[in-house]
Chains A and B, each alone.
Chain A
Amino acid sequence: MNRSLLWPGALALGLCLAPAAGAADAADPGLAELRAQLRDLRQQYEARLADLERRLSAAEARTAAPAPAPVAAAPTPPPAPARAAAPVGANAFNPAVSVVLQGNYANLQRDPAGYALSGFAPGGEIGPGKRGFSLAESELALAANVDDRFSANLIASISPEDTIGVEEAYAIYTAAPAGLVPKFGRFRSGIGYLNEQHPHVFDFYGAPLAYEAMLGGQYTQDGLQLKWVTPLDTFLELGAEAGGGEGFPGTARAKNGGASGALFAHVGGDIGFSHSWRAGLSWLRTGAQGREWTQADSLGDDAVVSFTGRSDLALADFVWKWAPGGNARATNFKLQGEYLRRRERGDLAYDADGALGRNAMAPYRSTQSGWYVQGVWQFMPQWRVGLRYDRLSPGTVDYGANGQWLATDGFRPKRTALMVDWTPSEFSRIRAQFARSETLPGLADDQFFLQYILSLGAHGAHRY
Chain B
Amino acid sequence: MNRFLRLAALLLATAALPAFADLKILATVPEWGALARELGGDKVSVTVATGPLQDPHHVEARPSLIARARGADLVVATGAELEVGWLPMVLQQAGNPKLRPGQPGYFEAASFVALRDKPARLDRAEGDVHAEGNPHIQTDPRNVALVAAALAARLAELDPPAADWYRARHTAFAARWAAAIARWEKDAAGLRGTAVLVHHDAFPYLFAWLGMRKVATLEPKPGVEPTTAHLAQVLELLRTQPVRMVIRAAYQDERAAQWIAGRAGIKVVTLPFTVGGTDGATDLFGLYEDTVRRLKEGLK
Interface residue ranges, A against B (CB under 8 Å): 5, 8-9, 12-13, 15-20, 23-24, 42, 46, 49-50, 53-54, 56-57, 60-61, 64-66, 68-69, 71-76, 78-84, 151, 172, 174-181, 227-237, 266-270, 273, 276-278, 321, 325-330, 381-382, 424-427, 456, 459-464
Contacts and interface: CB of A to CB of B under 8 A. Distances in A.
B238 interface: no
Nearest to A76: B208
B104 A64 contact: yes
Contacts of A19: 175, 178-179, 182
A56 B253 contact: no
8 contacts: A16-B177, A54-B153, A57-B153, A57-B154, A75-B142, A83-B133, A229-B95, A277-B63
A20 to B, nearest CB: 3
Interface string B136-157: 0000101101100110111011
Interface of B: 11-12, 14-15, 50-51, 53-55, 58-64, 66-67, 70-71, 79, 81, 84-86, 88-89, 92-97, 100-104, 108, 110-116, 118, 124, 127-128, 132-133, 140, 142-143, 145-146, 149-150, 152-154, 156-157, 167, 170-171, 174-175, 177-179, 181-183, 185-186, 205, 208-209, 223-225, 251-253
A80 B111 contact: no
B178 A18 contact: yes
A172 to B, nearest CB: 7
Contacts of A178: 12, 15, 95
A233 B183 CA distance: 41
Contact of B53 (A74, A78, A234, A327): A327
B116 A61 contact: no
A20 B178 contact: yes
Given A16-B142, A273-B54, A425-B128, 15 more contacts: A8-B146, A16-B145, A23-B179, A57-B156, A64-B103, A74-B114, A151-B92, A174-B100, A228-B95, A229-B67, A229-B70, A229-B95, A231-B71, A237-B63, A462-B85
Contact of A381 (B14, B64, B100, B253): B253
A197 B250 CA distance: 33
Contacts of B150: 53, 56
Contacts of A456: 124
Given A71-B112, A381-B253, A461 B85 contact: yes
B171 A46 contact: yes
A270 B64 contact: yes
Contacts of B97: 174-177
B54 to A, nearest CB: 4
A71 B88 contact: no
B149 A8 contact: yes
Contacts of B89: 461-463
A83 B103 contact: no
B114 A269 contact: no
B87 to A, nearest CB: 9
Contact of B58 (A78, A176, A329): A329
Contact of B63 (A12, A56, A79, A235): A235
